[in-house]
Amino acid sequence: MHAVSYLVLARKWRPQTFSDLIGQEHVSRTLKNAIDSGRVAHAFLFTGARGVGKTSSARILAKALNCEEGMSPEPCNVCPACREITDGTSVDVFEIDGASNNGVDEIRELRETIKYLPSRCRYKIFIIDEVHMLSTSAFNALLKTLEEPPPHVKFIFATTEPHKVPITILSRCQRFDFKRIPLQRIAARLRYIVDQEGVAISDASLAVVARKGDGSMRDAISTLDQVLAFCGQSAADEDVVALLGVVDRRLLMETSAAVFARDTREVLETVRRVDSFGYNMRQFCQELIEHFRGFTIIRAVGRDADDILDLSEGEMAELHRQAGEHDLPTLQRYLTLLLKAEGEMAGSGFPRLVMEMALLKMATLPPVVPVEEILARLAALEGVIPAGAVASAPPVWNAPARNESASRPAPQPAGQAPRQQAPQGRTEDPPPRTTLAAASPEPAGPRDWPGFVAYVKGKKPMFASVLEKGRPLSVTEERLEIGFAGGSFEFARMQDKETLEELVRLGGEFFPRKPEVRIVSLAGDAPDLPPSLHEKKSLDNARRMSEIRSKAEGHPMVAASLRIFGGTLEGVREKGPGKGPARQGS
Ligand SMILES: [Zn+2]
């Protein structure tokens, strides 16, 4: 019964004209214009997900080209040519399934057929579905035809995976990308169909059916068929959700209402009902995530949410009503809790318990207090806290000045060999000499390795970035010995004669006694050798961030807010213009 009913509805409501085609107006407009102007390509490629109208469009196009009433964007659908194409019996329109005809033989046969003029129609039309499934040799055979197509032949290719179609074929086709059909458009089409069929079914149920289609009109209509086969001419909401195994949206709305109302009893009651209906708890959680995503998006973008959320009009109205005054950070925390619960359910033997705990936590979540407000409250408290504890402390969120961090005794990597004391001042940050060097050719500052690299940077920035990867094994007035990891790009680069000469020349400019230059190949990590400037930079960064963090943690105002509001320090960042200090989380 199922199969018969499916065929009946799907075939009966297959679009027969471009105006029937839902959600692909960009395609039908272009095709109509091409036919009107008489400039029709030899080959078309229709791409897009399954069930969005590619094959239907191919047949409509075939009819538009071959209709006996004349070539027209609106084929008559009643002449013998049109009717034969609709029935799939036309002698001049060939439908080939690439998935089952992937051999060269079929394409060779096709090339034989192509030679002859159409027997009845204007054009011989080859519709190849799932064209990406053709074998390479079949593609090659097809390509020969596509290169010089006879004027009486048109090709229409359809594919769900255009990236698998060879570029040589793609480049010879006019391409049309079919879109996923929005839920509201599918629901409207289903409404039209059920009204024509005299079936009683609610908009809410049609939305459920449309959602099952997941952007595909064909899948949605076949789901509708299942529903009608089961429910007959009158489909009750309960039957539809039970049949399709989806969670009743009312249950989702009731759950979110209970969370918003902070009603712990009602929250547990909804979980009990989900369980008693025999729904899969994890699936319920997933739908709840989708549901709260809706609230979050509505709060974030207001009315524009309609374009982002694929929901029916009724569902949108419900969400807007419930979204109410809940603030965005709270909604985001709800989502975080749900996502965490969903992950936990995967490996838990107690999915119901996980769901209950997550919802209870949501319903009892303390409200988010913005950091600015915490600071304002703390400022008000200052009078109460003993003077000096807060007022005289330096602001935490200012980054320590560079020289401040450099003046600390920088921790030396363990086990450093004594011989690399030669490059003096190596552990100091390079002073901002780069710009000076760029402005004047005269080297300034100390004659050490960081100074040299900064000097090179002013003249040859690319070359300097290569040198930054090198370890200064020995840097003196007489000798420049730089180590690079053997096999690295940089080492290979330094083997180049011109590059080496460049280094000798720059070395001679910077160091007055024109040191001898040696490039050494290093094996492995060699932790006992001096670090490259590149490595040193990341070490310094990590050290600076940890300094900022411990400073922040030690700051009395931060410590006080962590204690008073039960927060944790989520992260620190250097203060930029207009940015707030450390972020607070629960
Ligand atoms: Zn016709």
Q: pLDDT at position 565, please?
A: 59
pLDDT band at 564 (very low <50, low <70, confident <90, very high): low
Print the SS3 string covering 399-426: CCCHHHHHHCCCCCCCCCCHHHHCCCCC
pLDDT band at 305 (very low <50, low <70, confident <90, very high): confident
**CB of 327 within 8 A of CB of 368?**
yes
Distance from residue 260's CA to the centre of ligand 1 (Å): 59
Distance from residue 21's CA to the centre of ligand 1 (Å): 18
pTM over 0.75: no
For residue 562, pLDDT over 70 is answered with: no
Q: pLDDT at position 62, please?
A: 96
- 169 by Cβ neighbours in 10 Å (0-12 / 13-18 / 19+) ranks as buried
Distance from residue 71's CA to the centre of ligand 1 (Å): 9
Greatest alpha-carbon span in the chain = 101
Among 488-497, 517-526, 556-565, the range of highest mean pLDDT: 488-497
Distance from residue 92's CA to the centre of ligand 1 (Å): 14
Distance from residue 80's CA to the centre of ligand 1 (Å): 7
For residue 107, pLDDT over 80 is answered with: no
Measured distance CA(441)–CA(514) in Å, rounded: 16
Strands, sheet with 153-159, edge to edge from the N-terminal-most edge strand: 93-97, 124-129, 153-159, 43-47, 174-177
Distance from residue 202's CA to the centre of ligand 1 (Å): 37
216: number of Cβ within 10 Å: 20
Q: For the residues 558-564, what does the mean pLDDT come to?
A: 66
Tens-place pLDDT, residues 433-484:
433 434 445 666 778 898 999 999 888 888 898 899 899 988 888 888 999 8
Tens-place pLDDT, residues 225-267:
989 888 888 888 888 888 887 778 888 999 999 999 999 999 9
User: Bigger pLDDT: 12 or 412?
Assistant: 12
Distance from residue 151's CA to the centre of ligand 1 (Å): 21
Distance from residue 90's CA to the centre of ligand 1 (Å): 12
Distance from residue 86's CA to the centre of ligand 1 (Å): 10
Distance from residue 124's CA to the centre of ligand 1 (Å): 15
Distance from residue 40's CA to the centre of ligand 1 (Å): 18
For residue 360, pLDDT over 70 is answered with: yes
Distance from residue 66's CA to the centre of ligand 1 (Å): 7
pLDDT band at 378 (very low <50, low <70, confident <90, very high): confident
User: Bigger pLDDT: 398 or 174?
Assistant: 174
The H or E element that residue 327 is part of is none
Q: Which CATH topology does 249-363 take?
A: Zinc Finger, Delta Prime; domain 3 (1.20.272)
Tens-place pLDDT, residues 455-467:
998 888 888 988 9
Q: pLDDT at position 99, please?
A: 80
Tens-place pLDDT, residues 173-220:
999 999 999 999 999 999 999 999 999 999 999 999 999 888 999 999
For residue 585, pLDDT over 80 is answered with: no
Q: What is the CATH number of domain 24-177?
A: 3.40.50.300
Find the angle CA(159)-CA(123)-CA(170) to the nearest 5 degrees.
30
Distance from residue 123's CA to the centre of ligand 1 (Å): 14
Measured distance CA(396)–CA(269) in Å, rounded: 47
Measured distance CA(261)–CA(258) in Å, rounded: 5
Structure tokens at 541: 């960064």
Tens-place pLDDT, residues 496-548:
888 888 899 998 888 888 888 889 888 876 677 888 888 888 888 888 888 88
Distance from residue 284's CA to the centre of ligand 1 (Å): 50
Q: pLDDT at position 43, please?
A: 95
Distance from residue 63's CA to the centre of ligand 1 (Å): 7
Distance from residue 125's CA to the centre of ligand 1 (Å): 15
SS3 state of residue 470: coil
CA pseudo-torsion sign 410, 416, 419, 420: negative
pLDDT band at 573 (very low <50, low <70, confident <90, very high): low
The mean pLDDT value of the chain amounts to 81
Q: What are phi and psi of 235, to 5 degrees?
A: -110, 115
User: Bigger pLDDT: 206 or 425?
Assistant: 206
Distance from residue 97's CA to the centre of ligand 1 (Å): 25
Distance from residue 314's CA to the centre of ligand 1 (Å): 40
pLDDT band at 427 (very low <50, low <70, confident <90, very high): very low
Distance from residue 56's CA to the centre of ligand 1 (Å): 16
C-alpha atoms less than 13 angstroms from C-alpha of 281 in its C-beta half-sphere:
26
**CB of 113 within 8 A of CB of 152?**
no
For residue 294, pLDDT over 50 is answered with: yes
Distance from residue 28's CA to the centre of ligand 1 (Å): 18
Tens-place pLDDT, residues 23-79:
999 999 999 999 988 889 999 999 999 889 999 999 999 999 999 998 888 899 999
Distance from residue 94's CA to the centre of ligand 1 (Å): 17
